[in-house]
Structures are given as structure tokens and as C-alpha cells.
Amino acid sequence: MLAPPHLVVVPECPTWAVCVSVHLVESMRARVSHTTKYCLFQKNTDFFSVIGAANFERRKAMLCRWLIFLTCLFASLSVAATNCCGKGAKNRRARAPRATSPEESLRDARLLAIQKVILKQLGYRRPPNVTRSQVTEAEKRKMLRLYEMSVEETSESRESVEHQEELSTAKTFHSFPVTGGPPQQVSTDDWEDSLHKVRLHFQLDFPQTHHRHRHLRVANAKLKLYKSEIFPENLVKSTDGLVTLSFYQLLEPPRTGKTTFKRLIESRMTSVLQTGWEKIDVTATVQSWMTSPEKNYGIEVVCEYEPLDDVMTFYGTNREGDSEVRRPSETDDLDVLVPRLIVLTQEVRSPLRERRSSEAEDCQVGDGETRCCRYPLYVNFTEIGWGDWIVAPEGFNAFYCNGACPYRYKSANTHSLIKSTLHHLNPASPQPCCVAKRLSPLSVLNYDDSEPPQLVVTPLNDIVVDQCACT
């Protein structure tokens, strides 16, 4: 009789009992089945003992012993595999520790959300496998330089956005008619030294802001001139009735017989076959005058290749035989035709102060602040397991918004203020939520999911929270 081999039991396994049901076929002809139950108990001296019907034939006994042996072997290996797998899972969790507090659970959830957003923006279902990458060190250095250039451009773009950021949506229109004379520091003779050009001066008078850290910004400015008279018969060089008008900002007081420094605002083609308006964008010029009022020396209009006074006349300007500039009067219906500046201003906050203010208003978890605030959230690509395929940066501060929105607190816009007021009057109505008011992009140097993977510079849009508000 062939004895079954010895069974090696895993040490961690406890003393156990196994019941095996063996279905034996005595005879195909008789079709008689016998079922015998065996109970196996592990002891210190014997691996198992057989208790049951011992009077079966030798062939049945040998078959039963083998079935019992295989059953025990399978059970032992299952226990060993369970122990090994359990230890492996425990080791993996050690590399990514579980959150031990509700705050850490929320932090892990936010990090996971950021990971999903990054993958979605990149168009990847999962992080790329970079083991097959063939990028050389020279190519890597080249891409790093390209990445640094992208970071600089992103920074400049962010500063531009901050410069354009408006504290309020309220805008104010101003209308300034031509003064009818030269600036105070310029004599009339120097101002009217040529009849082949037109010089215009506007006295700007903007209201003062009532806030310490705010200033006026010129959102838009237009110069309006009306062509009241045209003389196409006097054209010498033009055959199609078109002439070129150039508009200049005077950078110094004009002096007769001396070259005056000036900056070209715009050159345009205009027709001398019909009267009408000329509207010129002078936003940059008016902004410079607002910043430095003492440098407001006026605007000069010149007709290229043709004497201006020979081909057209602008209403309300000095022309031959007209020593006085046409001044607007309250009873004159033609006041609207007088040259004037139409300026749109807006009250804004200093960008540098606004950025410092946002940083100063940042909160920390556990500092006791319960209202809407911006909190830091640093994303380390190595810690989240992405350090192999995101080369630069090593990480970034994404920030996040959290907190309550009490009545009239940090309203993002007029609609948010109305919503807050409505909730204050009727608590059953929805309350404003603390969300990101302004977001900025982030450039990353990463491997793509091509085959083999290549290094690319990718802009991630709206990934960094710059400012939080209630909306």
C-alpha cells in the first residue's frame, strides 16, 4: 500500500478539524453508493487519525487517505497564502499611510480629486508608463529650458490678469471737450506755428477716489473729431479721394522752429469725399496723462503728403482765418460736434496690494477661522507616486476654499450679495457657498502616453486657487 506523503503544516495555523465526505462507487453494475465521513484531528504526535468504518477494502482506504491529504494540503496552503498576502497589503499601506483624522481624510480626498483633474486635462486614463522612454539627457535639458520659459510666460500672464482684476464692476463715463487753447506751459504762437496740422488740448478733471488703496484706471478712451468741410478738388497726390491721417501724442511742449518729440498713436486712411466722424482709440495716452498730469501736452493731427487745411476741416478747430477755436456753448446745438475725449474709468485696487492681501488672508487648519477662507494644499508629485512621469515642478500649492458665508461676507459679485441678503431675510433660501473666485494655470514638464513616451510641456488650466469668495 502506498502511504501518503507527510503534510507540512504552516506554523501560524491553529489546531483544526476537517470533515471530508467521500462518495465511493462500489460497483457500476450494482450502482450502490456508500458515503463515509472522516473526522481528522491534528495532534502533537500524529498528523491525523482516521475514525470511522475501518472495514472497507484496502483500495477505498488508500483513496480516502489521499483525499484527506490533498484536502489538508490545500487548506494549509490557503492559510499560508492568506498570511503572505495580508503582510504584503500591510506593507503597501505603509507607503501610503491611512488618514488618522477627519481632516486628513479630507486632505486625501482633495489630493485624489486634484489627481483626477490633472489626468483629465492631460487626456490620460492612468499615469503613463515611462520605463520604455528613450529621452536622452540632452533632450531632457532642452525640455527643461522650454519649461522654464513657459513658467515665465505663465507668471507674466498671471500678473497681467491681476492688473486687470477689478474690485468693482461699476464704471464711469467722462466727457472732456477741447479747451480751445494751448497748455499753460505753451505759448499761443508756439501752439499755432503751422496751419497744416491740428493741435488739441484737453483739460482732464477726474474725481478723487475715497479709498486709501484704490486708484482710477482708464478702461477706454476715444478721441472724436468731426469732418465738417472737405475739399477733394485740392488733392494733389491722392487720386482715389483717400488721405492718411496720423495722430500723435506730444511728449514735450512744442516750440516754433524746433523738432517736437512725439509718439504715434495711430495712422489711418480716411476719405475726403464725405463728411463724418473720426474716432481714435487714445486709451494709453489718456492713462499716461492720468498718471502724470503735468505731461499733458496735447494731441497733434497731421495729414501725410497733403496739407491738412487744404483738404479738410475739423469742426471746432483753428483754421485759416479763424484765430479762435470754436468753443461749445449751452445754447449751441452743434456742441456735440466739438472735438472731445470720451473716457471710461474704473476704480481698482493696486495689484501688488491685492496679491499681498490675499496671502495675508490665508488661513491654516485648526486656527479657529470658520468663515470662507483660502487654505494651503501642497501637492508633492513624488509623495503621490507621480514623481517618475512629472519631471517638473516637484510640487505646487493648489490651495482650496472652505468655510461658512455669513451675511454680506466676501460676496463675489452683486448676484452673490443679493443671494446673501435673501438668505438673511429667509433662511429657507439657499445660502452662498465658499468657492474659488479666481484661478491660475500651472505648467508641468511631463511624459506623455505615446510609445515610447516623450517629454512635453503642458499647461494645466485653473489648477491653483488665487482667491476665495462667497457665491
User: Does residue 115 sit in the same domain as residue 26?
Assistant: no
Does position 401 have pLDDT exceeding 80, yes or no? yes
For the chain, give the percent of residues with pLDDT over 70. 68
Query: Is the pLDDT at 8 greater than 50, yes or no?
Result: no
- The stretch 6-35 carries a mean pLDDT of 37
pLDDT band at 61 (very low <50, low <70, confident <90, very high): low
Residues contacting 195, CB < 8 A, separation 6+: 307, 309, 319, 320
**Stated pTM of the model:** 0.45
Residue 132 in this model has a pLDDT that exceeds 80: yes
Least confident residue range of 59-63, 74-78, 386-390, 404-408? 74-78
- Poorest-confidence range of 92-96, 157-161, 232-236? 92-96
Which amino acid belongs to residue 53? Answer: A
Instruction: Tell whether 242 and 261 lie within a shared domain.
Output: yes
Grid coordinates standing for 317? 478747430
What CATH number does residue 181 fall under? 2.60.120.230
- Which one of 55-64, 150-159, 431-440 scores highest in mean pLDDT? 431-440
298 and 432, same structural domain?
no
| 268 and 195 both lie in a single domain | yes
Same structural domain, 160 and 187: no
Number of domains present in the structure of the chain: 3
Together in a domain, 176 and 116: no
Q: Pick the residue with more confidence: 67 or 83?
A: 67
Q: What angle do CA 434, 436, 441 make, to 5 degrees?
A: 165
Residue-wise over 57-68: b if at least 16 C-beta within 10 A, else e?
eeebeeebbeeb
Is 23 in the same domain as 147?
no
Q: Quick one: 454 and 311 in the same domain?
A: no
Average pLDDT rounded to a whole number, residues 132-136: 90
Q: Which of the pair, 254 or 34, is modelled with greater confidence?
A: 254
Give all strands (DSSP E) within 193-241, no chain letters: 197-200, 214-230
pLDDT at 375 (0 to 100): 95
What value does the mean pLDDT take over residues 406-432? 92
In a domain, residue 353? The reply is no
- Reference 221, options 168, 296, 117; nearest CA is 296
SS3 89: helix
Give the model's pLDDT for residue 104. Answer: 84
Q: What is the largest CA-CA distance in the chain?
A: 144
C-alpha 338/C-alpha 317 separation (Å) is 8
Q: Which of 372, 404, 430 is closest to 421 using CA atoms?
A: 430
Q: Which residues fall within 8 angstroms of residue 281, CB to CB, at 6 or more apart? A: 220, 221, 222, 265, 266
Question: Burial, 71: exposed, middle or buried (Cβ in 10 Å; 0-12, 13-18, 19+)?
Answer: middle
Q: What is the CATH number for 144?
A: 2.10.90.10
Please report the sign of the dihedral spanned by the C-alpha atoms of residue 229, residue 233, residue 235, residue 241: positive
* C-alpha cell read off for 162: 491681476
- Positive or negative CA dihedral for 28, 34, 37, 40? negative
CA 12-16-22 angle, to 5 degrees, is: 130
Q: Please tell me whether residues 138 and 215 are part of one structural domain.
A: no
| Domain ranges, residue 398 | 105-164+361-470
Which domain-ending residue is among 58, 86, 114? 86
Q: Is 232 exposed, middle or buried (0-12, 13-18, 19+ CB in 10 A)?
A: middle
Q: Does one domain contain both 228 and 294?
A: yes
Angle at CA of residue 315, ends 200 and 231, nearest 5°: 110
Say which range, 51-55, 378-382, 405-409, has the weakest mean pLDDT: 51-55
- pLDDT tens by residue, 258-314: 888 999 999 999 999 999 999 999 999 999 999 899 999 999 999 988 888 888 999
pLDDT, tens digit, 9 for 90 and up, residues 236-252: 888 788 999 999 999 99
Q: What is the pLDDT of residue 213?
A: 56
Q: Is 151 found in the same domain as 234? A: no
The C-alpha atoms of residue 389 and residue 396 are separated, in whole angstroms, by: 16
State which of 315, 348, 381 marks the end of a domain: 348
More confident residue, 404 or 185: 404
Q: Which of 86, 114, 140 lies at the terminal end of a domain, its last residue?
A: 86
DSSP secondary structure, 52-78, as one string: S-TTS-HHHHHHHHHHHHHHHHHHHHH
pLDDT of residue 379: 96
Instruction: Say if residue 380 is in the same domain as residue 259.
Output: no
pLDDT digits (tens, 9 = 90+) for 35-50: 333 333 333 434 344 4
